[in-house]
Amino acid sequence: MKFANGFWVTQKGYDTKFASQPYEITTTENSITVLATTAVIENRGMTLQGPILEITYSSTCEDTIKVHIVHYKGGLDNSPQYELNEDFNFKPIINDSEESIELISGNTKVVITKGTSWSVQFYYKEKHLTGGSWRATSYVTETQFMADAKKELNKDNDFFDYPYNGNTAYVREQLKTDIGECIYGFGEKFTPFVKNGQTVEIWNSDGGTCTDQSYKSIPFYISSKSYGILVNSSDKVSFEVMSDTVSRVSFTVPGEELEYFIIGGENLEGVLENYTTLTGKPALPPAYSFGLWLSTSFTTSYDEDTINSFIDGMAERDIPLQVFHFDCFWMKEFEWCNFEWDTRQFPNPPAMLKRLHDKGLEVCVWINSYVGQRSKLFDIGKENGYFIKNLDGGVYQTDAWQPGMAIVDFTNPAACDWYKGLLRQLFEMGVNNIKTDFGERIPTKCKYFNGMDPVKMHNYYTYLYNKCVFEALEEYFGKDKACLFARSATVGGHKFPVHWGGDCYAEYSAMAETVRGGLSLCSSGFGFFSHDIGGFEATAPADVYKRWCAFGLMSTHSRLHGSSSYRVPWNFDEESCDVLRFYTKLKGKLMPYLWAQAIKTHEVGVPMMRSMVIAFSNDPACRYLDAQYMLGDNLLIAPVMNEEGLAEFYVPEGTWYDIVTNDVYEGGRYYSRKCNYFEMPILARPNSIITCGEFATNNVVYDYLNNAEATIYNLEDGKTATATIYDSEANKLTDITATRSGNGITVSYASTDKTFTVAVAGTDKKVVAVAGSTSVSIEL
């Protein structure tokens, strides 16, 4: 939100007061509070009028500084609160001197200068991260001119839009950026990956992948200088990323208070580890979820014969399939959601689901949090108060999606129990997964059961929605066995994986949008990411479909899904079957590596799919890369996104090997490579071990160690590389550790009854680690 007209003048309609002097500083054993005046106090008469700001600096989590700014503190306590893992007994170090006072949390600290000028600076160890000085922290009020103008503009606003609700005050913070500093994140943003120069509004919307709107808006960003900022508000937080004042990131919250956390780390992976310590680690999706998912698509016509033709067609073509998804029309039209199968198409659902399970498939079904008036559940929800209400107390209804639909009120515990009960009936029938669509189209002129501010509930709603569904899955199937496919999210939503990228077109530009959106989302604490292979809207040419298959199978989760046409490969051309088979089997073979990386994401919080700058924070060339990524620690993926078949990518330092073609790439360079449909660059990082399993049964749940092959890639003299192998239940089997000394490599591992092979890339060296042994040696 821009308040400035240039640097010196405030826009017409606003009045801005800046924190100018730390007039009084008080401390407790774990906090510093600064009474900030908006003018330098030169005499007692200047204390007779405000505004003043009370700013408290504390820490409730190591390497995290919490900043709370308040003007008036007498407002209603009706704002939903993100579920944060704060330790209010945590005690940072406070050092007080004549010139300044500082609060230290782990390696992260804030330094507040005393005197008559405003300066607040943040550091990690001795490295300066960011800070505010003159004309930074501010309190902004609207003049009557602006209030009248906004009221006129918003008198006919849509229920889903951010309303003008009488707010006439804002708290704003501005933090300095350095020369060459880049900003990333804010959730799933399809705009350019580096957010410098952009205005970012945190407001969930159903806007597709080709706009600046977001299904998953997260008031959190990371910097190439290795720190993160979380604004602790579910309201419409507005960020000006070097777009208002070009050397600062500004963020504004309506009302009288603003709270944010600054999170330090050794590098960006460390920042995200600390962020997810605060906001929660991603759950571990079950191993089967990493296989290929196939959907009915959205508005297509289908019954059991149709879906069997898809499933049998995949089997006949030797394309491994793990999950089958039923989209909206598994339920009768106009009755979404009633949680009942349309028996005109599926006369005996339990028997059908058993037949699917007998084919080795898991089953997913689509839902949303809306109940159409034609649903038999509408009257039940109305009678029991399970729906969001209008201001007059009646049920809020709209025709925008399902005729007369109501919206489940997840602030009502009884409504949550009711909803879980409906899901449990599906689980008992044989459904394994839930696709939680929507959650963005949430009204702002309404009432909730718990009395929360409806404007601030707009973004927060999706958290309660997906939490309810995830809990139902976890309660029924058990921990590490729950998996949903969610479209909307807010802070903390990453705890309930998996999330997919929304409605994209079947063209290369949308494929690039999807990559950018996924990288931005995974820069915001989300560990797992998927998308509609081939694009959602329209039908892709075979060329786009084949390239998207390669990208989709080298994403953490892989789903074929579309809108008005089926996404089975033979509908495109026969080569599409070959391409899909090739990459599906490659992913299946990579499961020992991918599963270990998924467990690390779950335990540590570092995203499994991550941008190059997250993986290589100290490489300036990686700061702007938005068309390639790392899949786990050790695989670089460069999707081909053009008709020419060109992969254009950068390789960091070291010698990298393509695990498919065995081509070698020396790092520190950019490459342009012509690729056929089976040659998307998949490069192994130097000094790494990539373990491929014996993917013999076309099921991604198998023995990840027996008959596996652990390939050592460019292990340098004096270096050590390790690959951890788990079973499909996430029990650790062994660490395979390779150490090179001169021309010899020693490989050690725990004794096991399994037999596997150790190979060295770029050579013919290969040895068998037999059952019962604990080491092998390789001479180069």
β pairing state of 362-367 and 370-371: unpaired
How far apart, in whole angstroms, are the C-alpha atoms of residue 31 and residue 105?
Answer: 11
Contact 725, 691 (CB under 8 A): yes
Contact 738, 691 (CB under 8 A): no
**Coil vs helix vs strand at 437:** coil
Contact 255, 169 (CB under 8 A): yes
pLDDT reported for residue 7: 82
pLDDT reported for residue 351: 97
How far apart, in whole angstroms, are the C-alpha atoms of residue 501 and residue 524?
Answer: 14
Alpha carbon distance, N-terminus to C-terminus of the chain: 61
Nearest of 7, 10, 9, 35 to residue 21 by alpha carbon: 35
Nearest of 265, 46, 17, 41 to residue 137 by alpha carbon: 17
Residue range 80-84: average pLDDT? 98
Contact 592, 725 (CB under 8 A): yes
How far apart, in whole angstroms, are the C-alpha atoms of residue 130 and residue 565?
Answer: 50
Determine which one of 327, 409, 503, 507 is catalytic.
503
How far apart, in whole angstroms, are the C-alpha atoms of residue 62 and residue 85?
Answer: 11
Residue 145 has pLDDT above 90, yes or no: no
For the chain, give the mean pLDDT: 96
**The pTM is what?**
0.96
Tell the burial category of 639 from Cβ atoms under 10 Å away from its Cβ (0-12, 13-18, 19+): buried
pLDDT reported for residue 674: 97
pLDDT reported for residue 333: 96
**String of DSSP letters for 282-342:** PP---GGGGSEEEE--SS----HHHHHHHHHHHHHTT----EEEE-GGGSPTT--S-----
Contact 664, 655 (CB under 8 A): yes
Residue 761: half-sphere exposure toward Cβ, Cα within 13 Å:
27
Residues in Cβ contact with 160 at an 8 Å cutoff, skipping those fewer than 6 apart: 205, 400, 440, 441, 442, 443, 444, 458
Residues in Cβ contact with 201 at an 8 Å cutoff, skipping those fewer than 6 apart: 162, 212, 217, 236, 237, 238, 239
**Coil vs helix vs strand at 251:** strand
pLDDT reported for residue 444: 95
| 14-27 core/surface letters (b: 16 or more CB in 10 A; e: else) | bebbbbbbbbebee
Measured on CA atoms in the order 552, 553, 555, 558, is the torsion positive or negative? positive
pLDDT digits (tens, 9 = 90+) for 656-707: 999 999 999 999 999 999 999 999 999 999 999 999 999 999 999 999 999 9
pLDDT digits (tens, 9 = 90+) for 212-237: 999 999 999 999 999 999 999 999 99
pLDDT digits (tens, 9 = 90+) for 325-353: 999 999 999 999 999 999 999 999 999 99
Q: Is 440 one of the catalytic residues?
A: yes
Determine which one of 409, 440, 507, 532 is catalytic.
440
Residue range 354-377: average pLDDT? 97
Stated as kind and residue range, the H or E segment containing 513 is helix 508-522
Tell the burial category of 130 from Cβ atoms under 10 Å away from its Cβ (0-12, 13-18, 19+): buried
pLDDT reported for residue 668: 97
Stated as kind and residue range, the H or E segment containing 381 is helix 377-384
Determine which one of 206, 244, 437, 507 is catalytic.
437
Asked, as a colleague might, if the bond just before 675 is cis with ω within 30 of 0, I would say no
Q: Is 409 one of the catalytic residues?
A: no
Instruction: Give the rounded distance of the alpha carbon of 581 from its chain centre.
Output: 28
Stated as kind and residue range, the H or E segment containing 36 is strand 31-37
pLDDT digits (tens, 9 = 90+) for 703-756: 999 999 999 999 999 999 999 999 999 999 999 999 999 999 999 999 999 999
How far apart, in whole angstroms, are the C-alpha atoms of residue 282 and residue 289?
Answer: 15
Residue 183 has pLDDT above 70, yes or no: yes
Residue range 380-401: average pLDDT? 97
Measured on CA atoms in the order 149, 155, 158, 160, is the torsion positive or negative? positive
Tell the burial category of 703 from Cβ atoms under 10 Å away from its Cβ (0-12, 13-18, 19+): middle
Hunting for tokens 């080709």 — which residue is that? 210
pLDDT digits (tens, 9 = 90+) for 248-302: 999 999 999 999 999 999 999 999 999 999 999 999 999 999 999 999 999 999 9
Residue 164 has pLDDT above 70, yes or no: no
Q: Is 437 one of the catalytic residues?
A: yes
How far apart, in whole angstroms, are the C-alpha atoms of residue 503 and residue 772?
Answer: 52
**String of DSSP letters for 392-434:** TSSBP-B-SSSTTBEEB-TTSHHHHHHHHHHHHHHHHHT--EE
pLDDT reported for residue 615: 98
